[in-house]
Amino acid sequence: MSRKSFTVSWIHATVAGAVISLALGGCGKQDEAQTSADSGGPEQVTVKIGHAAPLTGSIAHLGKDNENGVRLAVDEANARGLVIGGKKVVFEMLSEDDEGKPDMGPIIAQKFADAKVAGVVGHLNSGVTIPASAVYHQYGIPMISGSATNPQLTEQGFPEIFRTVGRDDQQGPAVANFLMSEDKPRVVAVIDDATSYGEGLANEVEKTFKEAGVKVLPREKGTDKQTDWNAVLTKLRGEKPDAIFFGGMDAAAGPLLKQGRELGIKAVFAFGDGACSDKMTELAGAAAEGMICSQAGIPAQAASQSFLEAYRAKFNTDPIIYAPFTYDAANVLITAMQKADSVDPAKYLPLIKQLTYEGASGKIQFDDKGDRKDAEMTIFMMKDGKIAPVAIIKAGKTIKFEDFMKGATAEASTVQTTEPATEQK
């Protein structure tokens, strides 16, 4: 054998031995990993669910309420130890502060897309949710808002976009018709905060009043950061309106109401869901007594008892407004994943529209636009410093809140749940 042939043969033998050694070692590690998987159950995978709302600033209390609803749903799902697609799923909530600013919506949506979230619950404000929705549509990420009520959100035709609350073109007529039936105003003033939410809701209220023949004064505007309303209110005082409706959040609505009473305005003050909270007493003081407000859904205290008990136990407080709806939104995403047996958005997205989900806020089904079918509207009045529901509007009919609760209790006692994944426990 030549020196060259010997050298080649030695190299081949050495390489072959190394390959065999690596193969044996690899098999040993593979067997060890397999044994570990066998002893520990199915492989585990982390699935990210995004949440976005204002977590700082004047309406951070509402954003935190939204976040709490999602966190509770995620923690409960993890406690159940769900297996999807043959893998044990551990859900992780990624929560971002959008500051209630429209330009932050797409930035955070892109951040979620880069993080490869499986779905998103949010945003709180319509003005932030609408621009963000275009990004979710671009990446095919399902998004369900528990609080954005502007009709434009779902009128865009994006198949990934849903909401678990009603729309402003349902809420606006509800509060306007209630005022007309109870207070019979002849002259009405309408003010908005120039946001997509505030202006959109105010438009619907104004439209309803005008169609009923009520005189509506020229629109007054402010901003969502405004706390000095004296100029606007002084102007309106001379017009002697019987009712004043403000479209905006409680941080601006509270000072508006307080200053209105200080100027001697006797009109009934009414607001939408953004100002329908007990915080109005903190912001407006005694001036808040008797105010009227609406919510695009059932009141938080009418949510399922199991949800209320779990929320109080976890956060040591009561939900404010939207937590039942964000809780349901997160559970809808999770339930659709279970039914599709996949956490891939492209695979579970079609199941969302097919769901009938019995949630904390009642039965949830979506129409072709992604809006909640048969969404209730609630009218509240401030009584003794607390927002109290007085009427529920459903399918155009007004029901006293007490009667609605009696009916809901009777219905709940007869419901037979056949899907453990959607059962509220």
Looking at residue 394, its pLDDT comes to 86
Query: Does residue 25 lie in a domain region?
Result: no
Query: Does residue 193 lie in a domain region?
Result: yes
Query: Does residue 263 lie in a domain region?
Result: yes
Report which of 248, 216, 255, 214 is spatially closest to residue 233, judged by C-alpha positions.
255
Query: Does residue 383 lie in a domain region?
Result: no
Residues 191 and 224 reside in one and the same domain: yes
Looking at residue 258, its pLDDT comes to 98
Q: Which residue has the higher pLDDT, 406 or 162?
A: 162
Residue 63 burial (C-beta neighbours within 10 Å; 0-12, 13-18, 19+): buried
C-alpha of 294 from chain center: 17
What mean pLDDT do residues 119-123 have?
97
- Residue 380 belongs to what H/E stretch? strand 377-383
Residues 136 and 206 reside in one and the same domain: no
CA dist., res. 88 & res. 86, Å (int): 7
Looking at residue 411, its pLDDT comes to 53
CA dist., res. 124 & res. 141, Å (int): 17
What mean pLDDT do residues 287-293 have?
97
Bridge partners of 380? Answer: 293, 389
Residues 59 and 160 reside in one and the same domain: yes
pLDDT band at 42 (very low <50, low <70, confident <90, very high): confident
pLDDT tens per residue across span 51-108: 999 999 999 999 999 999 999 999 999 999 999 999 999 999 999 999 999 999 999 9
What mean pLDDT do residues 372-400 have?
93
Residue 164 near residue 361 (C-beta atoms within 8 A): yes
Residues 87 and 72 reside in one and the same domain: yes
**Strand, helix or coil at 157?**
coil
C-alpha of 71 from chain center: 12
Cα distances from 337 to residues 11, 77, 253, 330, in angstroms, run 54, 12, 40, 11
**Owning domain of residue 195:** 169-295
Residues 84 and 188 reside in one and the same domain: no
- Percent above pLDDT 90 for the chain: 84
Give this prediction's pTM.
0.83
Looking at residue 52, its pLDDT comes to 98
pLDDT band at 40 (very low <50, low <70, confident <90, very high): low
SS3 content of the chain, % helix, strand, coil (to 5): 50, 20, 30
Final residue of a structural domain among 237, 268, 295: 295
Query: Does residue 26 lie in a domain region?
Result: no
Residues 252 and 230 reside in one and the same domain: yes
Among the residues of 183-249, which ranges form H helices? 196-211, 230-237
Residues 290 and 201 reside in one and the same domain: yes
Final residue of a structural domain among 277, 295, 313: 295
pLDDT tens per residue across span 192-251: 999 999 999 999 999 999 999 999 999 999 999 999 999 999 999 999 999 999 999 999
pLDDT tens per residue across span 6-37: 333 433 434 334 333 333 333 333 333 333 34
CA dist., res. 84 & res. 343, Å (int): 7
Residues 282 and 347 reside in one and the same domain: no
CA dist., res. 141 & res. 118, Å (int): 7
Residues 347 and 202 reside in one and the same domain: no
Query: Does residue 103 lie in a domain region?
Result: yes
Looking at residue 293, its pLDDT comes to 97
Residues 349 and 232 reside in one and the same domain: no
Residues 156 and 229 reside in one and the same domain: no
Final residue of a structural domain among 273, 295, 317: 295
Residues 139 and 234 reside in one and the same domain: no
Query: How many structural domains comprise the chain?
Result: 2
The residue written with tokens 């193969």 in the block is 23
CATH number at residue 200: 3.40.50.2300
Looking at residue 14, its pLDDT comes to 40
Query: Does residue 404 lie in a domain region?
Result: no
Cα distances from 234 to residues 84, 220, 260, 280, 282, in angstroms, run 61, 12, 8, 21, 23
Query: Does residue 11 lie in a domain region?
Result: no
